[in-house]
Every structure is written in C-alpha cells, then in structure tokens.
Copies of this chain bind each other. A is one copy, B any other.
Amino acid sequence: MIELDFNNILYNVLGPSHSIGEPELNNAIKDNARICREIQDERKQGRHAFLDLPYQDVAGIISFARANAKKYENIVVLGIGGSALGARTLLEALKPPFYNLLSAKQRKGFPRLFILDNIDSAETKALLQVINPKKTLFNVVSKSGETTETIASLLVTLGVLKKQVGKNYRKNLVITTDKEKGFLRRFADKEGVQSFETQKEVQGRYAVLSSVGLLPAALIGIDIRKLLKGAAAVDNMVKTSGPQINPAYISALVNFIYDREKSKNILVVMPYSAQLKAFAEWFRQIYPESLAKRYDWDNKEVYVGPTVMNALGATDQHSQIQLYNEGPNNKLIVFVEVETTKDKLIMPKLDDESSSFLAGRSLHELMLIEKKATAYALVQSRRPNYTIRLKEISEESIGALLYFFQLVTAYAGKLYKVNPYNQPGVEAGKRATFGLMGKKGYEKEVADITNAISKDKRWIIKI
C-alpha cells in the first residue's frame, strides 16, 4: 500500500557531508529502538490516544450521514486549524478536483463541501452568497468549544440563518465539540442543536480520523470505514514488526538526525499529486506545532523544532527548485508520489520536434518522471531527499498516510523529548486578542501591549 525509499539520504548515493552513512543509520535505529516500545506501552495507559482511532465506533456518524447528506446542497465546516485541515485533506484527496463545481448528479447527490477556516470578511460574505443557507448544513467544529474565530464565524452565520430560515435555523447546524464543556456545548444543549462529541484525549491536530474529520467526510460520501481500515493496517504493521523495518520510526529518526546533527532545520514535504496538496498543508501543521517547543519534558529551555514547508510537484519545480538546489543546504526533502492513477490522459502527436518526445505518453508518466528527475538533480547537488510511495489514492491509502504521519510525529516527540500534544506558544496571542477586543478579565494585557508596541513614526514609511 505504501513504501518508503530512503536511498537518497545515504552516503553511497549523496557522498560525504550531507548524507547519513549506513552504519550511522543502523546504530541510530538500534540506539533509539526503545521509543517504539515506549509508545506502545504508554498507549495502554491512555496516552497517544490517536493511535486507537482506527477502532472507534463510527456507526453514529455513518447513520447521521446516511440520513442527512442528500438533504443538503452544501456542507460548510466552520472551524480553524486542526478542525479544518483534516476535512480539507480528505475532500481534496478523495473527491474529484473541482468537486464544488460539479453538478448534483455528477456528485451522485452528495452535497458540496466548503471549509471556512478564516474570519476574512470578503471570503465569509462571498461564501454566504454563493450557497443557499437554507439548503446548507453548517458543521461547527471546535474541540474546546471556545475558539474565537469559530465562534465569530458561527455568530455571522446565525445572523444569516435566522433571517433566511427563521425559527427552524437549528436544523441547519450540527456541532462537533467536547462532551461536557465550552461555549459550543452549552449552545448545542440550550438550543437543542444536534451534536457530535470530540474524543477528549485526541488533540485538534490529531483529529482527522476522529469525529472532527470523519463527519464532513461521511457527509460527502467518503467511506470512512475504509479510511480507518487503512490506518489500522499501519498500526498493525508497526506493532508487529521490529524497529529495523518500522518505516514511521525510521522516518522520524531520519528527520530528527538531519535537523539536529546535519543542519537541515527545514523539512520540505512535496507531493507529486494535486490531490495531496492539502495533505502537505495538514502535515505543515501537525509536525512543527507538535515538536516546536520552548521547553522539553524536563522543563529545560530548548527552543527546538523543525520548520516544515509544503510544496507541490511538478508545479513548484518552477518556483522552489532553484532554492532547493542552489540555496543553503539546509533542507531535507520528502517526496510523496502515487504510482498509478485511473485518470489516464495520453498526449497526442504534433508535427514538431519540441513536442515529439511527449507523443503517445501519458501525463501521469511525465509526472512520475519529473519527480525522479528532480530527486536526481537534488542528489547531484548533494541535497538529501526520500520518497513515500502510494500504490494509488484510495480511502485505505489516505487513511494509512494520515495515520502514518501522526505516528511519525509521536516518535519525533520522543526524539526531541517534548510533549507533542500541547501548544503553549499560542496562548499569548489569544490572551492579547481577548485584551484588545475588550473581553472582561484581560485588562492587564491591554496595558502590556500598549507598553510593548512602539508606533514610532520615524520607522513607519509611506508610499
């Protein structure tokens, strides 16, 4: 289903300086092998909760989706960060490109899916005009139930719904939030709005295979049992095989060694598939937000963590490869490629030398060759890279891919010695927003901000 090819990081391919020698890699695999056991042991104590998501009961989600999906023209997810990125990843990977432009018939009666993950006025207004709110189910998603941006989007949406739908507006809402607490839970209970519970122990950015990602997926006809089946296959492989052939462990280890020992503090994830563009953005959240930490688990100040960039092949060969090949050698590039596609397009012959080498070949073949050529050019410039290869894009393989990278993140947490399930560095900004918006109890923040921020006119330059 998935294979990882690490050849292009090795000494005998890359030469000295930017490579990992085989003995070095074998030793590192041996030396850190205990973390594979640790993760599985801690799992039994209820940590790493995302690991058990493949085995959850999804009957409730499926029956809700069956009963409701085809009643609506549109699903709109109101959510931000982990509440949005998972749903977008599943939409882009598993529904046809330009899905929201297809007719209802082409969509087999399933609704369109929009993800509103910002508080942008122009975007919000345009969306509420493009859809008919009466024929839309708004899935409001926030684990805490207190996310400012999501509440803001909900408030604006409520204004429109009450005006256009009237008393029955509650039927156009479904909430995904904590079982017991938070604004969204109180709102759902008080208003009698249908709701789903988030799994308490599963953090937002690990939530794609929980109710957070699965509900919108099921509503557009994605087979969520198959997603979980793919994830379970990875879990099973990892549990039953040794560290030497545990690809998630080795992947985390290689990333870590390059960051900490080989001055490659930027990790590029570059799928060669338009359908995996959102996947790369999802990874750009989960990996650095889990690992970039001021304090390690011994409370030592460390300021560690990889910076992740997302890129897209073949497109970004024309925007990023000059940098990757000739800029500072500070990146490890992770390619994702897809071996086969059902969408075969053949290039016809034209009477011209410049194009004749393309004649009769498929677009997909060209895509795979461009990836191979790019990896080769990087090797020539001694830029380390490795490849994750999917046989095909399917519910199983995408479930596996997402679970795989969550697991890589958990292993990397062990290697960086940080808690991959918190995000203390976003609190200051949240408190400052509350202060500046005049929320009660945040008066001190306003004074701090006024003192800290300079508006020295000499350094404000106008055109």
Contacts and interface: CB of A to CB of B under 8 A. Distances in A.
A303 B328 contact: yes
Q: Chain A contact residues: over half helix, strand or loop, or mixed?
A: helix
A400 B100 contact: no
A369 B437 contact: yes
A99 B346 CA distance: 31
Interface in A365-383: 366-367, 369-370, 372-377, 379-381
Contact of A366 (B152, B281, B449): B152
B437 A358 contact: yes
Contacts of A127: 97-98
Contacts of A423: 322
B289 A323 contact: yes
Q: Which of A352, A436, A461 has the most CB of B within 10 A?
A: A461
Contact of A460 (B3, B306, B317): B3
Copies of this chain in its oligomeric complex: 2
A411 interface: no
Contacts of A285: 318-320
Interface stretch (A44-52, A116-124, A168-176, A207-215): A116-124
A7 B266 contact: no
B121 A97 contact: no
Interface stretch (A63-71, A218-226, A450-458): A450-458
A424 B437 CA distance: 50
Contacts of A438: 357
Nearest to A434: B357
Nearest to A183: B354
Nearest to A344: B121
Contacts of A380: 428, 452
Contacts of A134: none
A348 to B, nearest CB: 5
Nearest to A364: B121
A47 B228 CA distance: 58
Given A101-B100, A328-B305, A461-B247, A454 B13 contact: yes
Given A152-B347, A155-B359, A294-B325, 13 more contacts: A13-B452, A81-B315, A81-B318, A151-B354, A151-B358, A204-B318, A292-B322, A293-B327, A321-B425, A373-B436, A376-B432, A379-B452, A380-B452
A98 B115 CA distance: 12
Contacts of A455: 5, 7
A164 interface: no
18 contacts: A7-B454, A101-B130, A119-B370, A121-B367, A122-B275, A122-B341, A125-B345, A285-B320, A294-B326, A307-B331, A317-B429, A321-B426, A322-B426, A323-B425, A372-B436, A373-B433, A374-B429, A375-B453
